[in-house]
Chains A and B, each alone.
Chain A
């Protein structure tokens, strides 16, 4: 059976993909808040990133530790090939579904 992307999962995956090699908890959250204009809890971001990792759509690896982070490492996320395929598939579904919406609506 095909794994589906829920609404917030898709947004987190898109934010992660757009950040390239700079995607980790803080930057994904900031990107989501900037684009949606709503507050997003860090716990929600991590919960979805973990779920996406279990689905094989992202992969995580330890990143650098900075003084600003008290010497703690970042957990960096990268979108995998199946993740990109899922995003493209969702994009196609969205554009097909959006076609009947009149432009002046």
Chain B
């Protein structure tokens, strides 16, 4: 129990607390002694333990960290600007240089989105990352 107390307890308060326990119980270890040690460990923890517990509580309250449910990506490459609206991992809308892409030209299979004809007439492949965000090979500049 003493080792537990020394490990858990704020070192600045340990001397007084250990002294109080020695005065109250001496070498005896009773149920009351155990309750006192546990209550001291819980209520007088080291700063590091307190911070760890606080961080753990925040994490639990925040819930599991996952990709955002709905987000919009604004991206630019040599061919121009494009915007993607993604909902639950699915591309639901896109614009190329401000012009809306017809729905029939948006084809998504798994994490891969194809915008038909968007790369100088060729299909434009975009990977939608499961953790959120996109990855693509820049389209080439077109003088059209």
- A65 contacts B19, C-beta separation under 8 Å: yes
A-B pairs with lowest CB-CB distance, top 8: A43-B39, A72-B19, A75-B16, A41-B39, A69-B19, A47-B43, A43-B43, A43-B40
Q: Does B17 contact A (CB under 8 A)?
A: yes
Closest residue of chain B to A76 (Cβ to Cβ) is: B16
Q: Does A74 contact B (CB under 8 A)?
A: yes
Q: Which residues of B contact A75 (CB under 8 A)?
A: 13, 15-16
Q: Interface size for chain B: under 10, 10 to 19, 20 to 34, or 35 or more residues? A: 20 to 34
Interface residues of B in 5-41 (CB under 8 A from A): 13, 15-24, 32, 35-36, 38-41
Sample of 16 further A-B pairs with CB below 8 A, known A26-B24, A41-B35: A26-B23, A41-B39, A42-B21, A42-B39, A43-B41, A43-B43, A44-B39, A44-B43, A50-B44, A68-B22, A68-B23, A69-B19, A69-B22, A72-B18, A72-B22, A74-B20
Q: Does A73 contact B (CB under 8 A)?
A: yes
Which of A26, A68, A72, A73 is packed against the most chain B CB atoms within 10 Å? A72
- Measured in the bound complex, the distance between the Cα atoms of B18 and A25 in whole Å is 11
Known: A41-B35, A41-B36, A46-B13. Contact between A69 and B44, CB under 8 A?
A: no
Q: Does B42 contact A (CB under 8 A)?
A: yes
Main secondary structure of the interface of B (DSSP, over half): helix
- A24 contacts B16, C-beta separation under 8 Å: yes
Known: A43-B44, A47-B44. Contact between A70 and B38, CB under 8 A?
A: no
Q: Which residues of B contact A50 (CB under 8 A)?
A: 44
Count CB-based A-B contacts (< 8 Å): 63
Closest residue of chain A to B41 (Cβ to Cβ) is: A43
- A25 contacts B43, C-beta separation under 8 Å: no
- Measured in the bound complex, the distance between the Cα atoms of B16 and A26 in whole Å is 10
Q: Which residues of A contact B16 (CB under 8 A)?
A: 24-25, 62, 72-75
Closest residue of chain B to A67 (Cβ to Cβ) is: B22
- B22 contacts A43, C-beta separation under 8 Å: no
Q: Which residues of B contact A72 (CB under 8 A)?
A: 15-16, 18-19, 22
Partner of A70, one of B18, B39, B41: B18
Interface residues of A in 27-85 (CB under 8 A from B): 39, 41-44, 46-47, 50, 62, 65-66, 68-70, 72-75
